[in-house]
Structure 1
Amino acid sequence: MKRCSVAFLLLLFCLSEAHRELREMVVEQRVQLSLMEARVSASEELRDEVLRLRATVAEQRVQLSDVDEDSKDLRDEVLRLGATMVQQRETLSYTEDRVAASEDEATELRDTVVEQRVQLRHMESRVAASEEEAQEQRSLDRVMAAKVSESESQVADNQARLEATEVNVQDHQARLNATETRLETTETRLDVTETRLEATEVQVEDLEKQSEVMAAYVSESESQVAELGVRVTDHQSRLEATEVYVEDHQARLNATETRLEATKVYVEDHQSRLNATETRLNTTEVQVEDLEEQSEDQPKVAFSVGLGSGRIGPYSSDTTLIYQKVFTNVGNGYDPSTGIFTSAVKGVYHFRFTACDDTPSSYVDIQMYKDGQLLIYNNARISPTSSWTYVSNGMILELEQGDTVYMRMRGGYRLTDDSNNHNLFSGFLLYAM
């Protein structure tokens, strides 16, 4: 499971890097496309190509936005799943430790119960042996009691006979002596019997004390066994609850694994979509590179100039405007001393101009010429209540090498300019022919 988490984090990092590279590629393509649009805005064929590339980039941008959102959701989901997996792994580890401790404790309790049962059986055997010995001693006591009773009867008989003998002492002297001898023997036997009886009583008392001690020990063992039984039952209940808890966590882990599998499928689908996007980006890059190669092979011609500060005109006749502020003059096609642009190569060019004046109730008048031929004429009246009136126009021309393009103003009109560059004239080569 740790390897799965690391793999998903690595995959998430790779996706982030891939998205970042895709965004950089799209930004670069947008910059390149903007440059190409500035170069090929006047060509119908290249305009169609640029529009198609722009649509492709827009579609890829939308797809990239969708992938970014999906990747963000996926990243959040993976992080949340990773945190859940870590928490569940810690809980499972803690549960496994508790289960192992409970199993060890249950094993110790089982061993203790078995040992207590063995001791109890041993004590029961000893108690049974003691009871048998006590029973035998009681039998001996009953026999001795019978013998004592018999001796007492004999003593009573002897006493009676002694009384009779005393009455008839003289007649029965010989019998009295014999009786006294038998009486002494009986007394001796009686003393021996009393001694044995006392010893037997002492033994019986000792046995009774041992029986009481054994009974107390047996009662204590039974209490311990009952307590151990209660503890075993409690541990069994806890073990069953732990098993249910582990089964629940196992089910949750299985559900998490199922969600991870679904996430894998989701990531693989997005990876496929990313691969398709990369393929389309590669195709677009190849097309842009082809266009760049075509553009690099073409000559570089572009200029942008300003009229200058102050008022220009009015002149008595039509005058070619000389734009003195040169902002750009790639290829040196524009001559700042004459105000005329001369084409260095045959090709298609784009030209644009802006004219401005601030004289109320006057006119802004401007013309574009090619090799002495009037191409554009613009004239705009300036309102009496306003100032800074502008005229702007442009054209795409096919020029031969050495053709000229320039701006003229008719006699009687003027233009006004300052540091804000209100009057501009610019042009550039779209492609050579």
Structure 2
Amino acid sequence: MVSAVLWVLLWVLGGSEAQRSLPSCQPDIYAQLRELRTQVEAVRIECGDAPVVAFTASLVDAGHGHYGPFNTNAVLVLRNVLTNRGNAYSPTTGLFSAPVAGLYFFSFSSLSAGAQPCGVGLYRNAERVATACDHSAPATAHSAGNAAVLWLKAGDRVSLQLGAGAMAIDDSSLRQTTFTGFLVSLT
């Protein structure tokens, strides 16, 4: 009886020669899970866990309005926020503050009327990086626009500045004076 029990235990624990020589028909689920985890981590590293950062603002939210002219450059504060994912644009100060380091795209446009020139600069911190202006002869309207791709560090500030003597006008239904920006990539 003891030898029969030993024989069964040896057979269960060791398996037969035929069992050891047959390939397993069932996949190694743990190896597949490890491979899947490795692939997911690679995608996370490649894509990053990038926050969504995007905004668009226009000068006025109701009716008609203007900003300027001033004797010196002045930050152009666009109070009508259409989109502000990530809350990086402040309609109180007119400043965009980069929440993370990365590559950002910005575009802006401005409209002026009559004898007032249209002149707006895009600034990263205190450095002007792009300008849009129209100083043609007095006309019904002057418009200008420009765009830039900027590498920003976390905390860098981007703003529009209205040039000295320039004016920006807007109509809430037309949105002619605008500022847009969004995060393109973390790398």
TM-score, normalised by the number of residues in structure 2: 0.69
Which residue matches 1:300? 52
- Partner SS, residue 406 of structure 1: strand
| Within-5 A mapping of 1:383-394 | 383-384=137-138, 386-394=139-147
| Within-5 A mapping of 1:16-415 | 297-308=49-60, 309-359=64-114, 361-384=115-138, 386-415=139-168
Instruction: Give the superposition deviation at 1:376.
Output: 1.4
Identity, % of aligned positions = 29
Instruction: Give the superposition deviation at 1:299.
Output: 1.5
Contact 1:362 1:382 in 2 (8 A): no
2-side partners of 1:311 and 1:333: how far apart?
Answer: 24
Contact 2:103 2:186 in 1 (8 A): yes
- Partner SS, residue 421 of structure 1: coil
1-side partners of 2:71 and 2:102: how far apart?
Answer: 36
Instruction: Give the superposition deviation at 1:415.
Output: 1.2
1-side partners of 2:71 and 2:79: how far apart?
Answer: 21
Larger relative contact order, structure 1 or 2 (CA cutoff 8 Å, min sep 6): 2
Change (3 A) 1:295 1:424: farther
Greater than 6 Å deviation, 4+ residue runs: none
Q: CA RMSD for the aligned pairs?
A: 2.2
Instruction: Give the superposition deviation at 1:412.
Output: 1.8
Correspondent of 1:421 among 160, 172, 175: 175
Aligned length: 142
Instruction: Give the superposition deviation at 1:294.
Output: 5.8
2-side partners of 1:316 and 1:332: how far apart?
Answer: 31
2-side partners of 1:401 and 1:337: how far apart?
Answer: 20
Instruction: Give the superposition deviation at 1:377.
Output: 2.3
Change (3 A) 1:409 1:342: same
Which moves more between the two structures, 411-420 or 390-399? Answer: 411-420
Q: Is 1:431 aligned with 2:185?
A: yes
Contact 2:111 2:168 in 1 (8 A): yes
Contact 1:334 1:340 in 2 (8 A): yes
Deviations 1:252-277 (A, max 9, x none): xxxxxxxxxxxxxxxxxxxxxxxxxx
What letter corresponds to residue 299 of structure 1 in structure 2?
A: P
What letter corresponds to residue 416 of structure 1 in structure 2?
A: I
Instruction: Give the superposition deviation at 1:296.
Output: 7.5
Contact 2:48 2:186 in 1 (8 A): no
Structure 1: give runs of 5+ residues left out of the alignment. 1-289
TM-score, normalised by the number of residues in structure 1: 0.31
- Partner SS, residue 93 of structure 2: coil
Contact 2:133 2:143 in 1 (8 A): no
Instruction: Give the superposition deviation at 1:387.
Output: 1.9
Instruction: Give the superposition deviation at 1:295.
Output: 5.4
Structure 2: give runs of 5+ residues left out of the alignment. 1-41
- Partner SS, residue 334 of structure 1: coil
